[in-house]
């Protein structure tokens, strides 16, 4: 034992830490201190427990790991005296939380303390339980807490009430046991117990319909009376806040009444009078008074309709909205969002004020106001409101532009009265904040443009003009480049002039200039440049005079360091040089994109749901791009509804497939992410369209050398099948993001070579002393259950005896641990232990989580265990 | 429901952190950093509310110290604002003068915890260690446990909390 360190007082330690000049020095001091504390703990040093824990709390506060002190807390809690227990519980709440497995060990101590004869110790236990209780503890200790709700001392009753809230939040099934004791608390005279009892009842109403029904029938009147008493109570300095009597009790009572009145006319009726009284009598010049009014308005808005009260409430909000205090304006905006469903007309009256709030300097207010404006928009006011918002877009803060842009786009899409207005507004937004526009928004715009055949000329001219001033806005450039590729000839000839337009004089070479700028602009990304290349290919056929120049540009990019661009250039160059005969057919204008399909794709979440009738146009990016759908793939349930995935090359394979099938530009590149594939596919799709039948052989010809060598058979398979490759492509597409996802997770070998094994084994944990490997398998006919076989190998020269492995899983999984093959782990890797676990998934479609969960959690857990290795193994 | 309570100084050092929802340590540090970033540069005229991920942070500044509560998006912001103030009043009352809090939390200076022993009255003895600073800090946590439990308000009477702390003190 190092006597020097165990003698360090807390103050000296703090001083030493403070004296450190660098972070490294500080770490060294902390490391030394931790070592000393560890030694002291191992020696079971009673005298220094307090000091050790106090030091640990300080070290924890500085952000260093302190998990080795957790056992110390448990020991202090288990000791007999109040002072020890107190600091033990304090440490427990600071150093531990409900997810740490050590917490299971504390359940027994908590149970004893909850039954302790000393009510102060009971109070400590309740406090700890309320703050860190896990679902398991909740189940084990609920009877004790329920009993304590009737304890003689009010301090215990109120703590027990709040503890019960935590318990029913963790395990809603337990709610019914608490209904009666909780309702009894509503009759309490003790202020603290009453306020906590009301909170408990409010939470019960949330989790249990029976509780709600019971309280509604039996206690609405009582609560109305209580509120009446509070409103009319004489001045009580103890509960007075800035001249407002007991605002906290007010607020909580109103909240519970809201729960009771919602959806029940009788209960709502019973509380009308008192709500009117609160709404009219409460003073509104203090924050506390406004808090009551705010809660009261919310209750009025939520309970069953009473015209008079609602007018009162809307008037209060109107007053709030014109208040000079920003906090009050903020809550007014917040509440008007709820009021809009009740009385849209009344809220519309405040439109001008709300629009001003969108321009407020306070981001919180702006955000609320924008949400509200969004709800206020309808067919009649969409034009002026959009104009206001777009005007403001020019001057708004950078960080607000994202939100604002998204909302404007959404409004424009939803309410646009005519196509030309839609295109105009979108172009304005793109020119102003194109970098904030989401991909799906400009994709939608392209679909609309493609469908508005009478506006092609107008749009491309407008885009050309916008490009001159806003060439740094990525999505504007993309749309412009796409339109120029498609309708470049219209730009030049002023085809389809509208009356509102000024004629422009543009030459062929001006147009090629634009595309070339896009291609060479350093700030624009790969997708844009790839689109620019395609536009050039299209223009080369439309503008024979510029053909040579375009060819030069394309040739120049054959040397591009970016594989994607290099490949496209090579292919396009070959089209221009060797395939003159098919070029014009190949680069024909895109067929009109199918709006309905696009909308379904955008809205739909499952890639498989989309029919394959449209040939090319169906393979829009959705399922592959959106990570929200892709990770839902049943990794461990492959046998269930997904045919065997074609190995790790699934993503590339899909890309090849689509690339081969659709366009002469497959997006097969080593660094390309699977998520990207979708975008590129769309890109190809939008630019090239379906190649005419006679060209397909040559297209394939161009491509065949660069196909992914891993999946030639699958590719051929798919090509030879006459039907569109829906099923297979889908399955592989779904499998692919999965692999990608897991690739990022850890060191495990995440490239399965075979289709047979459900998932490859991985090393869950490895340290200098212990290695754990997990193997996965499935029971035939029971796809929801996965067998995990853990293999433990001892790498130290000592034999581990009494070896126990524990595991925990998230709620939606069930874990069954079989006994291990032995509890003795021979030394130096001479043989190993195995233990089987069966994991059953109740929630279909989320199994992938299991793997990552197991992986991540086992790492944490084992990491933690590793620090105990020496102490627990030698014991 | 209150998700967590933070007391931070202007430099972003966390003086007190109490979590009512389970978070990883690394996540806690991230949260503390983000909350600090959100509140530190806001104009005093601005609202005391900032949206934070899917929740809302209600904060209030007292000299150099930020008190922040993270609550549900549907909670009553104004009431929680009052709640912060009540907590500060309780601390203020408890430590007999603001100075002592000053010493522990350093409203004004960057250095902390190393000061002369303070002379507050009702301070409970946490353990046998000789550092008054740690005791004061622990004491603030203990007061908080009498004020808020399981993320909900437990007691709104200053007097009740101070009396309760006195009773517990006698047991030490």
Domain residue ranges in chain B = 2-167
Cα separation, A740 vs A674, whole angstroms: 7
Mind listing the pLDDT tens digit for each residue in A463-493?
999 999 888 899 999 999 999 998 888 888 7
Weakest mean pLDDT among A41-55, A246-260, A417-431, A555-569: A41-55
What average pLDDT does chain A have?
76
Beta strands in A187-260 (DSSP E): 240-241, 244-245
A475 touches A445 (CB < 8 A) = no
| A118-163 tens-digit pLDDT | 999 999 999 999 998 989 999 999 999 999 999 999 999 999 999 9
CA A330 vs CA A364, A639, B42, B141: distances in Å: 8, 53, 15, 31
> Are residue A601 and residue A739 in the same domain, yes or no?
yes
Between residues A602 and B129, which one has the greater pLDDT? A602
DSSP-assigned states of every residue in A55-80: HHHHHHHTT---GGGHHHHHHHHHSS
Does A31 reside within a domain?
Answer: no
Residues of A in contact with B151 (CB under 8 A): 166
pLDDT attached to residue A592: 85
Contacts of A334 in chain B (CB under 8 A): 77
The helix/strand/coil state of B11 is coil
Contacts of B111 in chain A (CB under 8 A): 18
CA distance A621 to chain B (A): 28
Average pLDDT in the A651-660 region? 34
**A377-422 pLDDT, tens digit each:** 999 999 999 999 999 998 888 888 998 999 999 999 899 888 999 9
Distance CA(A467)–CA(A521), nearest Å, equals 13
For residues A277 and A781, which has the higher predicted lDDT (pLDDT)?
Answer: A277
Give the pLDDT confidence score for residue A37 in this predicted structure: 85
Q: Which of B22, B127, B158 faces A54 most closely, judged by CB atoms?
A: B127
> What are the tens digits of pLDDT across the range B153-171?
999 999 999 899 889 888 8
Do A774 and A709 fall into the same domain? no
| Residue B4, pLDDT score | 96
CA A117 to chain centre: 47
pLDDT digits (tens, 9 = 90+) for A178-194: 999 999 999 999 999 99
Q: Across the interface, which of B82, B141, B152 has its CB nearest the CB of A288?
A: B82
Question: Does the distance separating the beta carbons of B131 and A11 come in below 8 Å?
Answer: yes
| A604 in the same domain as A720 | yes
> Looking at per-residue confidence, does A442 or A851 come out higher?
A442
Q: What pLDDT, on the 0 to 100 scale, is given for residue A780?
A: 67
Length of chain B: 172
Q: Is B102:A268 a contact under the CB 8 Å cutoff?
A: no
Q: What is the pLDDT of residue B6?
A: 93
Which region among A292-296, A449-453, B44-48, B56-60 has the lowest average model confidence (pLDDT)?
A: A449-453
Average pLDDT over residues A650-676: 36
A784 and A715 in a common domain: no
Report whether pLDDT(A855) > 60: no
Distance from CA of B77 to the nearest CA of A (A): 8
Task: Return the residue of B nearest to A67 by Cα.
Answer: B25
Residue A867: pLDDT band with limits 50, 70, 90: very low
Mean pLDDT of chain B: 79
Task: Tell me the residue range of the domain where A621 lies.
Answer: 595-743
ipTM here: 0.87
Over residues A822-827, mean pLDDT: 76
Contact (CB<8Å) A97/B19: yes
Q: Do B50 and A248 touch (CB under 8 A)?
A: no
Q: In CATH, what number is assigned to the domain containing residue A850?
A: 2.60.40.1230
Q: Which of B23, B29, B154 sits opposite A159 (nearest CB)?
A: B154
What was the pLDDT predicted at A88? Answer: 87
The two structure tokens encoding residue A742: 């897991």
Q: Which two tokens stand for residue A390?
A: 């777009």
CATH of domain B2-167: 3.30.450.60
Which span out of A234-238, A656-660, B128-132 was modeled with the highest average pLDDT?
Answer: A234-238
Min Cα–Cα distance to chain B from A95, Å: 9
For A793, what's the count of Cα atoms within 13 Å in the CB-facing half-sphere? 15
Contact yes or no for A477/A434 (Cβ under 8 A): yes
Section A304-321 average pLDDT: 89
Q: What share of chain A is helix, strand, coil (3-state, %, to 5)?
A: 65, 5, 25
pLDDT tier at A648, thresholds 50, 70, 90 = very low
Q: Distances from the Cα of A690 to the Cαs of A513, A530, A591, A592, A662, in angstroms?
A: 28, 18, 9, 12, 6
- Provide the shortest C-alpha distance from residue B75 to chain A (in Å): 9
Question: Per the domain annotation, does A84 fall within a domain?
Answer: no
| Closest chain A residue to the Cα of B137, Cα to Cα | A58
Nearest CA in chain B to A157: B154
* Residues A829, A721 within the same domain: no
Q: What is the DSSP letter of A800?
A: B
Task: Identify the top-confidence range among A9-18, A165-174, A484-493, A509-518.
Answer: A165-174
Domain contains A191: no
Tens digit of pLDDT for each residue in A665-717? 333 333 334 344 334 434 443 443 333 333 333 333 333 333 333 333 333 33
Tokens representing A674?
Answer: 């699977």
Q: Is the pLDDT of residue A629 over 60?
A: no
- Give the nearest partner residue to B78 out of A11, A120, A331, using CB atoms: A331
Number of structural domains found in chain A: 3
Nearest to A50 among B47, B127, B157 (CB): B127
Predicted confidence at residue B134, as pLDDT, reads 59
Residue A23 is predicted with a pLDDT of 86
Region A101-108: mean pLDDT is 82
Q: Chain B closest CA to A50's CA: distance in Å?
A: 5
Note whether A735 and A783 are same-domain residues. Answer: no
Mean pLDDT across A2-27: 73
For residues B61 and B64, what is the distance between their CA atoms, to the nearest angstrom?
Answer: 7
Res A368: pLDDT: 92
User: What global pTM score does this model have?
Assistant: 0.68
Q: With beta carbons less than 8 A apart as the criterion, state whether A385 and A373 touch.
A: yes
Domain limit, last residue, from A347, A364, A380 = A347
Note the pLDDT tens digit of each residue in A713-753.
333 333 333 333 333 333 333 333 333 333 333 333 333 34
The alpha carbon of residue A366 is apart from the nearest alpha carbon of chain B, in Å, by 11
pLDDT digit string (tens) for B62-120? 877 899 999 999 999 999 999 999 998 888 777 765 554 554 554 333 223 323 333 33
Stretch A841-850: mean pLDDT, rounded? 50
Query: Residues A327, B47: contact at Cβ < 8 Å?
Result: yes
Q: Which residues of B touch A867 (CB under 8 A)?
A: none
Judged by average pLDDT, the poorest of A450-454, A805-809, B38-42 is A805-809
- Specify whether A704 is located in the same domain as A804: no
pLDDT of residue A826: 77
DSSP string, A753-781: --SSSSS--EEEEE-SSEEEEEEEEEETT
């Amino acid at each position: 034992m190092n006597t020097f360190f165990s003698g360090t007082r807390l103050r000296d330690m703090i001083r030493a830490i403070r004296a450190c000049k660098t972070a490294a020095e500080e770490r060294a001091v902390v490391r030394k201190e931790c070592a000393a504390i560890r030694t002291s703990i191992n020696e079971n040093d009673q005298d220094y427990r307090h000091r050790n824990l106090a030091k640990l709390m300080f070290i924890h506060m500085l952000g260093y790991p302190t998990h080795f002190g957790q056992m110390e807390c448990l020991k202090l809690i288990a000791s007999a005296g109040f002072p020890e227990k107190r600091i033990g519980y304090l440490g427990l709440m600071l150093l531990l939380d409900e997810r740490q497995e050590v917490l299971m060990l504390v359940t027994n101590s908590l149970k004893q303390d909850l039954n302790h004869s000393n009510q102060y110790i009971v109070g400590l236990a309740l406090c700890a339980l309320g703050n860190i209780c896990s679902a398991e503890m909740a189940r084990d200790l609920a009877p004790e807490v329920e009993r304590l709700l009737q304890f003689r001392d009010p301090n215990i009753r109120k703590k027990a009430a709040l503890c019960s809230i935590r318990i029913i939040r963790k395990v809603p099934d337990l709610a019914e046991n608490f209904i009666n004791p909780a309702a009894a608390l509503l009759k309490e005279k003790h202020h603290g117990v009453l306020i906590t009892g009301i909170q408990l009842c409010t939470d019960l109403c949330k989790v249990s319909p029976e509780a709600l029904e019971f309280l509604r029938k039996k206690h609405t009147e009582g609560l109305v009376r209580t509120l009446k008493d509070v409103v009319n109570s004489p001045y009580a300095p103890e509960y007075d806040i800035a001249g407002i009597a007991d605002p906290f009790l007010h607020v909580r009572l109103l909240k519970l009444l809201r729960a009771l009145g919602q959806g029940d006319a009788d209960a709502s009726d019973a509380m009308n009078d008192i709500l009117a009284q609160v709404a009219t009598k409460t003073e509104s010049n203090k924050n506390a008074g406004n808090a009551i009014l705010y809660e009261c308005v919310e209750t009025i808005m939520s309970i069953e309709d009473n015209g008079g009260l609602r007018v009162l409430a809307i008037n209060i909000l109107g007053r709030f909205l014109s208040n000079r205090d920003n906090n009050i304006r903020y809550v007014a905006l917040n509440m008007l969002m709820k009021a809009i469903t009740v009385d849209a007309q009344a809220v519309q009256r405040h439109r001008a004020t709300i629009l001003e709030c969108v321009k407020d300097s306070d981001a919180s207010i702006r955000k609320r106001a924008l949400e509200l404006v969004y709800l206020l928009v309808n067919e009649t006011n969409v034009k002026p409101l959009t104009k206001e918002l777009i005007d403001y877009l020019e001057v708004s803060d950078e960080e607000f532009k994202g939100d604002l842009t998204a909302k404007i786009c959404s409004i424009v899409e939803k309410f646009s009265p005519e196509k030309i207005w839609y295109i105009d507004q979108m172009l304005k937004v793109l020119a102003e904040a194109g970098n904030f526009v989401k991909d799906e928004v400009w994709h939608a715009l392209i679909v609309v443009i493609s469908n508005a055949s009478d506006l092609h000329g107008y749009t491309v001219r407008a885009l050309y003009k916008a490009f001159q001033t806003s060439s740094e806005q990525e999505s504007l450039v993309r749309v412009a480049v796409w339109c120029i590729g498609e309708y470049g000839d219209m730009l030049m000839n002023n085809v389809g002039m509208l009356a509102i337009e000024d004629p422009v004089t543009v030459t062929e070479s001006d147009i090629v200039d634009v595309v070339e700028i896009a291609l060479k602009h350093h700030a624009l990304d790969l997708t844009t440049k790839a689109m620019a290349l395609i536009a050039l290919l299209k223009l080369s056929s439309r503008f024979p005079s510029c053909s040579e120049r375009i060819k030069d540009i394309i040739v120049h990019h054959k040397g591009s360091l970016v594989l994607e661009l290099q490949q496209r250039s090579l292919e396009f160059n070959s089209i221009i040089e060797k395939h003159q005969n098919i070029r014009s057919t190949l680069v024909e204008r895109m067929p009109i994109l199918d709006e309905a399909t696009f909308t379904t794709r955008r809205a739909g979440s499952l890639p498989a749901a989309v029919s394959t009738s449209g040939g090319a146009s169906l393979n829009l990016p959705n399922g592959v791009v959106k990570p929200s759908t892709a990770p839902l793939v049943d990794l461990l349930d492959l046998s269930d509804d997904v045919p065997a995935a074609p190995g790790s090359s699934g993503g590339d394979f899909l890309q090849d497939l689509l690339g081969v099938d659709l366009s002469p530009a497959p997006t097969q590149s080593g660094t390309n992410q699977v998520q990207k594939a979708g975008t590129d596919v769309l890109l190809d799709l939008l630019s090239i369209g379906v190649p005419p039948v006679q060209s397909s052989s040559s297209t394939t010809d161009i491509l065949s050398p660069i196909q992914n060598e891993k999946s030639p058979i699958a590719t051929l398979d798919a090509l030879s099948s006459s039907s569109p490759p829906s099923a297979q492509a889908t399955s592989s597409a779904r499998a692919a993001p999965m692999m990608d996802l897991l690739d990022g997770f850890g060191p495990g070998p995440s490239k399965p070579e075979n289709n047979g094994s459900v998932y490859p084994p991985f090393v869950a944990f490895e340290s200098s002393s212990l290695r754990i490997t997990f193997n996965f398998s499935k029971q035939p006919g029971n796809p929801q259950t996965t067998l995990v076989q853990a293999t433990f190998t001892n790498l130290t020269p000592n034999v581990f005896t009494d070896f126990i492995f524990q595991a925990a899983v998230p709620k939606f999984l069930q874990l069954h641990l079989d006994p291990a093959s032995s509890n003795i782990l021979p030394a130096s890797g001479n043989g190993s232990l195995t233990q089987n676990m069966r994991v059953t998934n109740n929630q279909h479609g989320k199994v992938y989580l299991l793997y990552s969960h197991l992986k991540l959690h086992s790492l944490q857990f084992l990491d933690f265990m590793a620090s105990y290795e020496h102490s627990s193994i030698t014991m | 429901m209150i998700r967590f309570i933070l007391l931070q100084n202007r430099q972003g050092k966390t003086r007190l952190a109490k979590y009512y929802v389970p978070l990883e340590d690394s996540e806690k540090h991230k949260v503390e950093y983000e909350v600090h970033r959100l509140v530190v540069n806001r104009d005093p005229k601005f609202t005391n509310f900032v949206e934070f991920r899917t929740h809302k942070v209600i904060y209030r500044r007292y000299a150099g110290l930020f008190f922040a509560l993270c609550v549900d998006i549907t909670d009553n912001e104004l009431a929680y604002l009052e709640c912060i103030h009540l907590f500060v009043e309780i601390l203020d009352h408890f430590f007999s003068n603001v100075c002592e809090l000053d010493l522990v939390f350093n409203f004004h200076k960057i250095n902390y915890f190393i000061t002369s022993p303070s002379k507050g009255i009702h301070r409970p003895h946490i353990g046998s260690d000789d550092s008054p600073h740690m005791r004061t800090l622990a004491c603030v946590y203990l007061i908080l446990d009498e004020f808020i439990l399981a993320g909900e308000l437990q007691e709104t009477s200053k007097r009740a909390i101070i009396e309760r702390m006195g009773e517990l003190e006698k047991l030490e």
